[in-house]
Structure 1
Amino acid sequence: MTFPQISAKYLEPLSMWIMVAGMVALLQPWSLFFHRYGVTIILVGLVGFLIFSHIKPGPGQEQE
């Protein structure tokens, strides 16, 4: 499995889930630590998504 395939199959969805976790951390009322770093978690997921969404497998590479 090549890096573009790994990026499309695992890293891009992982970065989406990190953004969702950041939204949950920002909106929950129980932990000040997660509320404080919620925007940072969202930004980390956004940067990861922007990077990994631009790394696509070429037309000759099959996805498993």
Structure 2
Amino acid sequence: MTFRELNTKLFEPTAQWVMIGGLVCLCQPWVELLHRYGLTITIIGLIGFLVTAHIPPEPEAEAEEEEELI
């Protein structure tokens, strides 16, 4: 598995879930520690998503196959 495939299947969704988790921590009223660090968790997820979203996906193999057939 290449780094780009790993990024698409693991890193990018993980960063999205960290952002969602940070928002949930920020909005819940029961645990003060989670509420205190909710914004930090959201920002960490946002930075992770910005980094992983700028890594281009694997080039498709179909374009190469079509060129070979012509």
The two structures have a TM-score, normalised by structure 1, of: 0.88
Cα separation, 2, equivalents of 1:35 and 1:4: 34
Which stretches in structure 1 are left out of the alignment for 5+ residues? Answer: none
C-alpha separation in 1, matches of 2:36 and 2:60: 45
Identity score, percent: 48
> Relative contact order: is structure 1 or structure 2 higher (C-alpha 8 Å, sep ≥ 6)?
1
Secondary structure at the aligned position of 2:39 is classed as helix
- The structure whose residues are more often helix, as a share, is 2
Aligned to 2:26: 26
CA distance in 1: counterparts of 2:27 and 2:58, whole angstroms: 39
> Following TM superposition, where does structure 1 have runs of at least 4 consecutive aligned residues deviating by more than 6 angstroms?
none
SS at match of 2:22: helix
> What is the one-letter code of the residue matched to 2:38?
G
Q: How many residues align?
A: 62
- Report the RMSD for the aligned CA atoms in angstroms: 1.6
Displacement of 1:60 in angstroms is 4.7
Unmatched tracts of structure 2, length 5 or more: 62-70
